[in-house]
Amino acid sequence: MSENAVRKRPRADSDVVVKAERQDDEVRVVEYINHPTLYFEDGNTILSCSSTLFCVHRSILSKHSTVLKNLLDSLDKKSLRGCRHFIMKEGADDIEALLNVIYEGLRVDLPNITVESSPLLSSTLRMCTKYKIEHHDAKMLASRIQQARNAPYIPQNGVNVPNPQYDANAALQEDLIIHPGSVISLLRECGYDSPVVLAPLFYALSRGTWQFGGCAVGHHIAPLSHADVERLIIGVERLRAYHADFVTQLPSFPALVAAHKAQCEAGIRKYWATLGPTMLRATSGSRQPIEDWFSVITQAKANPNILSSYSVCAECAKLALAEMDRRREALWTNMPAYFELEG
């Protein structure tokens, strides 16, 4: 390489800098490119990722991250373009995600958290965790990534309530939703591991067991730790066992007066006896009990003739539906225990 090539310098208004670096007695030419939106002319600190340069404000970064503050306060004396220069180990996309949070905050389009948008969100959450960005939106992002799994119940003031955005047919669009195993791994890595956050994801993963095996064997649980794989196995066994108990155990209504007990309770028991074969032999088997209970309850509420055909009066029908709701909610509430997520 000629000496003239090594000494080449760009025009003053160029975004490209060609810099000669000496390593092991050899000259390596590095062609730096300014980041299009995160290279501030009034910045005083340069972060470089491979050939991409970010020119930022030291005070702003130090304010938002103690990790970055310690880095910027270090004795490293490298300089570039008259600014302190720090070479980052992460890729340019990761640093871009981090700086966007610092300068602009988190802006997440909730309805569109899919497999296409999740890599950026995952990178953002990881970087916020690594650099300890004290930003309340980071926790919100973790919650929103988890909620993208379409949970039937959501916590509200410490109580599980029906999710108004719940879609029982979301499984039809399973390929468009973030894979639960990947989300579990991401949240574990970033320290968001409360049972309320993880239980819906383990349930979502258990719903997809019909996809396991084949040419992609191991793919669905590959992101999980060994402990979480065991939790999944235990949880599937427990959840399906309790579901089978709920659909086969006939309800009892001791508060009914004698007249209703003789006719209505007998009718409810006859109706309930049809639930077991219907729900356990459904196309999906017993792998999505929350959705199956939701479907049966919705049909019974929409068509009063279903229970009246068993000689059940309207008031006793309400009791039967309330019991079905109770059993469905019990399955959901106990989900953290089924998957060993408590304690």
Residues 6+ apart with CB under 8 A from 122: 145, 182, 186
Q: What is the pLDDT of residue 177?
A: 55
Whole-number Å distance between alpha carbons of 24 and 26: 5
Q: Who wins on pLDDT, 277 or 17?
A: 277
Contact predicate 31/10, CB 8 Å: no
**End-to-end CA, the chain:** 64
pTM more than 0.75:
no
Say if residue 159 is in the same domain as residue 138. Answer: yes
Say if residue 306 is in the same domain as residue 228. Answer: no
Contact predicate 332/152, CB 8 Å: yes
Question: How do residues 224-253 score in pLDDT, each as one tens digit?
Answer: 999 999 999 999 999 999 999 999 998 888
Largest CA distance in the chain: 105
Q: By residue range, what is the domain housing residue 285?
A: 248-333
Contact predicate 292/278, CB 8 Å: no
**Final residue in a domain of this structure, among 48, 77, 100:** 100
Q: What is the pLDDT of residue 124?
A: 80
User: 223: which strand partners?
Assistant: none
Whole-number Å distance between alpha carbons of 165 and 9: 58
Whole-number Å distance between alpha carbons of 239 and 287: 9
Q: Identify the band that residue 174 occupies on the pLDDT scale cut at 50, 70 and 90.
A: very low
Residues 6+ apart with CB under 8 A from 336: 195, 196, 198, 199, 342
Mean pLDDT calculated for residue range 276-284: 74
Mean pLDDT calculated for residue range 304-318: 92
For residue 256, is pLDDT > 50?
A: yes
Q: What is the pLDDT of residue 7?
A: 37
Q: What is the pLDDT of residue 201?
A: 87
User: Of 249, 248, 325, which Cα lies nearest the Cα of 281?
Assistant: 248
User: Of 56, 10, 63, 8, which Cα lies nearest the Cα of 33?
Assistant: 10
Q: What is the pLDDT of residue 205?
A: 87
Q: What is the pLDDT of residue 115?
A: 46
Say if residue 179 is in the same domain as residue 90. Answer: no
How many Cβ atoms are within 10 Å of 207's Cβ, its own excluded? 21
Say if residue 328 is in the same domain as residue 254. Answer: yes
Say if residue 114 is in the same domain as residue 233. Answer: yes
| Beta strands 52-56; 45-49: pairing state | antiparallel
Question: How do residues 118-164 score in pLDDT, each as one tens digit?
Answer: 666 777 878 888 888 865 455 555 555 555 445 566 555 555 666 65
Say if residue 148 is in the same domain as residue 266. Answer: no
Question: How do residues 197-213 score in pLDDT, each as one tens digit?
Answer: 889 889 988 887 766 66
Say if residue 213 is in the same domain as residue 117. Answer: yes
Location of structure tokens 């991250």: 65
Q: What is the pLDDT of residue 216?
A: 60
Number of helical (H) and strand (E) elements in the chain, helices listed first: 15, 8
Number of structural domains in the chain: 3
Say if residue 61 is in the same domain as residue 159. Answer: no
Say if residue 110 is in the same domain as residue 91. Answer: no
Residues 6+ apart with CB under 8 A from 209: 236, 287
The reply to whether 56 falls in a domain is yes
Whole-number Å distance between alpha carbons of 113 and 149: 9
Q: Who wins on pLDDT, 310 or 214?
A: 310
Tokens of 42: 């009034």
Say if residue 206 is in the same domain as residue 259. Answer: no
Q: Identify the band that residue 196 occupies on the pLDDT scale cut at 50, 70 and 90.
A: confident
Say if residue 91 is in the same domain as residue 15. Answer: yes
Whole-number Å distance between alpha carbons of 52 and 39: 10
For residue 286, is pLDDT > 90?
A: no
